[in-house]
């Protein structure tokens, strides 16, 4: 049913407009008590322990879908064991010029160059504090932080520190995003020389909350190994692998259309192969010393189970939500529990 709705309705409209319509619909359904009808019961979930937290299933929502933490209750009702909100920046920012989100339906993929559009760390901190004060049952809430576009690269440490100080009190864990291709210069922060002081600053202001780092699939294998060793040596809780890719190989979508879309991060099934390669490298390098969250090209229960078998503690998805529909996470976590 959802496939028909997607093909004959959603696919006719701008993807970002559809996202806002879906977000509004989810929140309305949650307020009316409709989404609670689809909540997973405890018998339908498989508990997972990671970095001192307990998750109601191994499968959660990656950063990017709920940038400002406005849909957490509704998304939890739909079966995600954890919601990673963001990416959020110290300074509120509108993001890049529209259009900036594109579907590659033949590839079950998206290209985005959103540019960290968000209301800022202070606003998110207020929203999460209010949500926690409500005493409602919440999923594990991760907060993904990035560098503000207006902040020079040389001031990145301070920028990440500002967001951390604001958000650590209300986050279950923090994810340091240095791997989006849509903020100029951001990926240069993945070099060990640049990354180490950022992670040290975040750790110093995290108030004991678990800190993870999210890396790109486009890193060389040796760079992945170096970041893994850095993460272990600094005492990070884990690594999230991987973000979107700038590569455009092996796509089914017409090359002229892909070229016309232009720059941006590619997500979805085309990222799966490299995401799995990076997971294998990390698992061998880390050898169980810290946790790995695998993300990139995940669509089915089998995909999630394979990532778990390859050493991931948790798995996240995003693009599959667009193509599989609202009961996607519920189905996966329920099937894994069986």
Q: Strand pairing partners for 293?
A: 240, 314
Tokens found for residue 42: 């405890």
Tokens found for residue 199: 């992670």
Tokens found for residue 206: 């995290």
Catalytic residue among 121, 179, 180, 267: 180
Tokens found for residue 250: 């092996």
**Backbone angle region of 70, left / alpha / beta, with phi > 0 → left and psi within -120 to 50 → alpha:** alpha
Q: How far apart are CA 47 and CA 307, in angstroms?
A: 17
Tokens found for residue 265: 């991060």
Residues 6 or more apart whose Cβ sits within 8 Å of residue 77: 30, 35, 36, 38, 39
Edge-to-edge strand list for the sheet holding 101-104: 101-104, 109-112, 265-268
**Which 3 state secondary structure label does DSSP give 217?**
coil
Sign for the CA dihedral angle at 135, 84, 335, 283 comes to negative
Establish whether 180 is a catalytic residue. yes
Give me the active site residues, please. Answer: 180
């Amino acid at each position: 049913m959802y496939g028909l709705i997607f093909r004959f309705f959603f696919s006719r409209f701008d993807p970002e407009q559809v996202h806002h319509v879906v977000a509004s619909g989810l929140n309305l359904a949650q307020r009316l008590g409709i989404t609670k009808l689809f909540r997973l019961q405890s018998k339908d979930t498989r508990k997972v322990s990671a970095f001192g937290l307990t998750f109601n299933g191994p499968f959660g929502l990656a950063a990017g879908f709920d940038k400002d933490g406005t849909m957490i209750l509704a998304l939890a009702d739909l079966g995600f064991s954890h919601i990673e909100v963001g990416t959020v920046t110290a300074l509120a920012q509108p993001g890049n010029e529209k259009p900036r989100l594109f579907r590659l339906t033949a590839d079950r993929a998206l290209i985005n160059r959103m540019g960290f559009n968000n209301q800022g760390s202070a606003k998110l901190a207020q929203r999460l504090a209010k949500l926690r004060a409500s005493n409602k049952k919440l999923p594990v809430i991760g907060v993904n932080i990035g560098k503000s576009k207006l902040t020079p690269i040389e001031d990145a440490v301070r920028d990440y520190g500002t967001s951390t100080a604001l958000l650590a009190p209300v986050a279950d864990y923090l994810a340091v995003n240095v791997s989006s291709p849509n903020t100029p210069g951001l990926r240069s922060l993945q070099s060990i020389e640049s990354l180490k002081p950022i992670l040290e600053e975040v750790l110093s202001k995290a108030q004991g909350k678990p800190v993870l780092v999210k890396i790109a699939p486009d890193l060389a294998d040796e760079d992945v190994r170096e970041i893994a060793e850095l993460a272990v040596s600094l005492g990070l809780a884990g690594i999230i692998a991987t973000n979107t890719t700038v590569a455009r190989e092996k796509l089914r979508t017409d090359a002229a259309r892909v070229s016309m879309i232009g720059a941006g991060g590619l997500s979805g099934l085309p990222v799966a192969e490299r995401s799995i390669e990076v997971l294998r490298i990390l698992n061998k390098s880390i050898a169980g010393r810290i946790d790995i969250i695998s993300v990139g090209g995940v669509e089915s229960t089998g995909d999630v189970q394979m990532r778990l078998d390859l050493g991931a503690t948790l798995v996240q998805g995003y693009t599959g939500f667009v193509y599989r529909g609202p009961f996607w996470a519920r189905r996966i976590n329920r099937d894994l529990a069986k």
